[in-house]
């Protein structure tokens, strides 16, 4: 029965069938992100052999490894972007994509995220933000909304969340967008754009975690979280006219930046050529 169901799914050619069904919790947004990524790859006609997909540790790290059928690198906690940087410098012709969660990329790996954006290295990062440490028990994260309840903030969270997309845009990325798992078609289009940008690109996906976040915040069903996303999503054009107080608890969605900047690996190669020419080594 399972094989029959998979055979009807057009994107199954991009998945490791032996790893299915996924180990993701029922209602997790990780499947939506995997589907969106596969559709983007398919629509752009990118050969998976030209991809290297890197992940860290956490629920969202499983989206790439073991489920996506390409060369994948499952790395240590918080270091996915550092590994991806090495891959891109060593194999500049490959499309290097990082898929991991907010705890992995924006908490323990936050400095790597900021400085990769500042360097503007040609890597695409799909950051799945479920606003909690899902795999380790539902602890508060740097992305947990103000006032939300978690296992380590059972009364309420008194910290304001890190605004990931805004931070990465300010750091210098070439492309930054944010959507939720309730905005699937927009998400696919942004992933396609991110894959075609030369420079650092980030697509932040606000995703539901009904098991760890939802049930502690009166949203036990995945559909309740999706409705919450839709009700509280604000297009960036509208958000620019709103006060910080009005934006409290909202999800600002859309494209934050789409610009051209010098790319890190290209600048390295230029520097090598300059040094070789200076010392008369060009052509050797």
Tens digit of pLDDT per residue, the chain (284 long)? 556 666 788 999 999 999 999 999 999 999 999 999 999 999 999 999 999 999 999 999 999 999 999 999 999 999 999 999 999 999 999 999 999 999 999 999 999 999 999 999 999 999 999 999 999 999 999 999 999 999 999 999 999 999 999 999 999 999 999 999 999 999 999 999 999 999 999 999 999 999 999 999 999 899 999 999 999 999 999 999 999 999 999 999 999 999 999 999 999 999 999 999 999 887 66
Kind of pairing between the strands at 51-55 and 95-101: parallel
The share of the chain scoring above pLDDT 90, in percent, equals 93
The Cα–Cα gap between 218 and 260 comes to 43
Residue for token digits 């559909």? 223
Name the pTM for this structure: 0.96
Q: Are 235 and 254 in contact (CB under 8 A)?
A: yes
The Cα–Cα gap between 262 and 92 comes to 15
Max intra-chain CA distance, the chain: 69
**Residue 36: exposure state from Cβ atoms within 10 A (0-12, 13-18, ≥19):** buried
Could you give the domains of the chain? 24-279 (3.40.50.970)
Helices (H), 20-62: 30-44
Q: Which run of H or E residues covers position 71?
A: strand 71-74
pLDDT digits (tens, 9 = 90+) for 235-271: 999 999 999 999 999 999 999 999 999 999 999 999 9
Q: Are 138 and 153 in contact (CB under 8 A)?
A: no
Q: Which run of H or E residues covers position 190?
A: helix 184-196
Q: Are 178 and 204 in contact (CB under 8 A)?
A: yes
Q: Are 181 and 32 in contact (CB under 8 A)?
A: yes
């Amino acid at each position: 029965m399972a094989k029959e169901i998979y055979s009807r799914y057009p994107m199954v050619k991009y998945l490791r069938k032996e790893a299915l069904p996924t180990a993701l919790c029922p209602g997790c947004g990780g499947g939506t992100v995997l589907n969106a990524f596969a559709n983007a790859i398919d629509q752009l006609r990118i050969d998976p052999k030209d991809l290297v997909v890197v992940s860290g540790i956490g629920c969202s790290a499983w989206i790439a490894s073991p489920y996506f059928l390409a060369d994948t690198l499952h790395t240590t906690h918080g270091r996915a972007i550092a590994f991806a940087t090495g891959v891109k410098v060593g194999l500049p012709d490959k499309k290097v994509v990082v898929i991991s969660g907010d705890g992995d990329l924006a908490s323990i790996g936050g400095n790597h995220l900021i400085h990769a954006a500042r360097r503007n290295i040609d890597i695409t990062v799909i950051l799945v933000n479920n606003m909690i440490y899902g795999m380790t028990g539902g602890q508060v994260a740097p992305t947990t909304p103000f006032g939300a309840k978690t296992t380590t903030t059972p009364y309420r969270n008194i910290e304001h969340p890190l605004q990931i997309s805004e931070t990465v845009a300010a750091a210098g990325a070439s492309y930054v967008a944010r959507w939720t798992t309730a905005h699937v078609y927009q998400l696919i289009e942004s992933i396609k754009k991110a894959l075609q940008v030369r420079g650092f690109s980030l697509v932040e996906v606000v995703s539901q975690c009904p098991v760890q976040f939802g049930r502690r915040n009166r949203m036990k069903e995945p559909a309740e979280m999706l409705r919450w996303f839709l009700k509280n999503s604000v297009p960036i054009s509208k958000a620019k006219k709103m006060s910080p107080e009005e934006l409290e608890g909202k999800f600002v969605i859309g494209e934050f930046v789409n610009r051209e900047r010098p790319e890190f690996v290209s600048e390295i190669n230029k520097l090598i050529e300059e040094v070789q020419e200076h010392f008369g080594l060009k052509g050797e």
